[in-house]
Amino acid sequence: MSDDSLYQLRCRECGKTWGNVPRSFCDDCFSPLEVAYDYDSLRKFARRENLAGRAFNMWRYSELLPLTDDFTAPTATGGTPLVRSRKLAAQWGLQNLYLKNDAVCFPSLSFKDRVVGTALAAARRFGFETVGCSSTGNLANAVAAQAAQQGFDACVFIPADLEPAKVLNTAVYGARIVRINGNYDHVNRLCAQIADRFQWGLVNVNLRPYYAEGSKTHGYEIAEQLGWKLPDNVVVPMAGGSLITKIAKAFKELVTLGWVEDKPVKFFGAQATGCSPISDGVKRNLARFQPQKPNTIARSLAIGNPADGPFAMKLIRESGGWAEDISDPGIVEAIKLLAETEGIFTETAGGVTAGVTKKLISQDRIKPDETTVVCITGNGLKTTDAIADEFRATEAIAPRLEAFEAYLDAQIGATTRAARA
């Protein structure tokens, strides 16, 4: 959006407006701030036709994002494939199953590239020289990569036990990495205090309202790739619970602007059983979720005290959706299933989403003829530790044809081998 009088921060609870400033909560009532748009004005110039000549990446929706007049797209982030599933759909008995594949999001291979895109636009606007985040890994990767490209200093805070690949994928960009002895919730609490003390742009703390807007582009793309239609069901992984609510906001905006026809969409949230405060809250119909101590291989979803949990629970309930969770062995099984059927190698969070989708189908909450989109948000190359035990190295053979024949005999039997020869 080119005119910043068209959007500003507003308190979700008391409605107080704040202009555009680096802060995430209302001083009056301590409730979260969000970016609120003047949709009446937007409707006059934010038209679907405007997109025709634009590249397919997240910045094609710039009218619907909190950007300044002089903003120029720094990277071709987003624009990821919406894969129509054939094998997995057949296996699950679904006719219209799609996988939104942010495992190949540019530049750091997760949907976090989208949120960092809008957060760094805000950081530049507010004059921050240092940017950072609290992260379970993917966000740190995204901040480090885009900060390097855009000339910010980066300082990221991570739990000390994070997967080595995710730490390396942050360090390589030259970011300062501060490892914290504690889980993500400890890291997040510290970052809330750091944002209180230092003049840094912490993307998911004081820049959070702007950061969260980037998630909407995942939803815009889904609608556009379905031919400007909304799906019946969306299955979304939940860590802090923000993405699911922002996909809902994206759909609602497209309806408000007349870009898609209105229709009911059910939102389904997916968590790992070892860290499932939101799904637990939905399943037990709690007024407030109970925080948990994370214990799961899905570390990118291991947020025991999800800040957007209350909003995610409300959305799921009001949309007629549901939330489910899946065990660690179930996550590994689902990662393999997605790879073997669709050729998509996702990280543990994607295993959670795929595994939960299967569960929702078996519970008859997702029907065969409905259009269902499963959101895959990260790349399997970052969490190879989680599945390494599943695949042992095979014994090497001599570079001779007889050796290969002997190998095949041992693997599939001499009769089968002869039949295939």
Question: Of 102, 163, 185, 333, which one interacts with other proteins (CB under 8 A)?
Answer: 185
DSSP state of 11: E
Provide φ and ψ at 375, rounded to 5°.
-90, 115
Is 192 a binding residue for other proteins by CB under 8 A? The answer is: yes
Sketch the per residue contact string, 370 through 399, with other proteins: x for CB under 8 A, - otherwise. ------------------------------
What pairs with residue 236 in β-bridges? Answer: 269
Nearest to 235 by CA among 220, 222, 217: 222
Q: How many residues does the chain have?
A: 421
Contact stretch for other proteins (CB under 8 A) within 98-106, 192-200, 338-346, 368-376: 192-200
Name the nearest CA neighbour of 221 among 1, 60, 39, 34: 60
Q: Which is nearer to other proteins, 25 or 98 (CB)?
A: 25
Give least dist CB 24 to other proteins, A: 5
The residue (of 12 and 229) whose beta carbon lies closer to other proteins is: 12
> And the tokens for 274?
């070892």
Given 8, 20, 22, 36, the residue binding other proteins (CB under 8 A):
36
Determine the Cα–Cα distance for residues 410 and 421; give it in Å rounded to an integer: 15
Number of helices (H) and strands (E) in the chain: give both, helices first: 15, 13
Pairing label, strands 7-11, 17-19: antiparallel
Using CB under 8 A as the binding rule, the residues of this chain from 344 to 363 that contact other proteins are none
Binding mask 306-345 for other proteins (x = CB under 8 A): -xx-xx---x------------------------------
Q: By CB under 8 A, tell whether 42 contacts other proteins.
A: no
Tell whether residue 263 is a contact of other proteins (CB under 8 A). no
Contact between 132 and other proteins per CB under 8 A = no
Cβ atoms of residues 102 and 378 within 8 Å: yes
Q: From the CB of 55, what's the least distance to other proteins, in Å?
A: 26
Residue 392 DSSP SS3: coil
- The secondary structure of residue 235, as a DSSP letter, is E
* Residue 178 contacts residue 203 (beta carbons within 8 Å): no
In the complex, the residues that contact other proteins under the rule CB under 8 A are: 12, 24-25, 27-34, 36-37, 39, 182, 185-186, 188-189, 191-193, 196, 204-205, 208-209, 211-212, 240, 242, 245-246, 248-249, 252-253, 256, 288, 290-291, 293, 305, 307-308, 310-311, 315
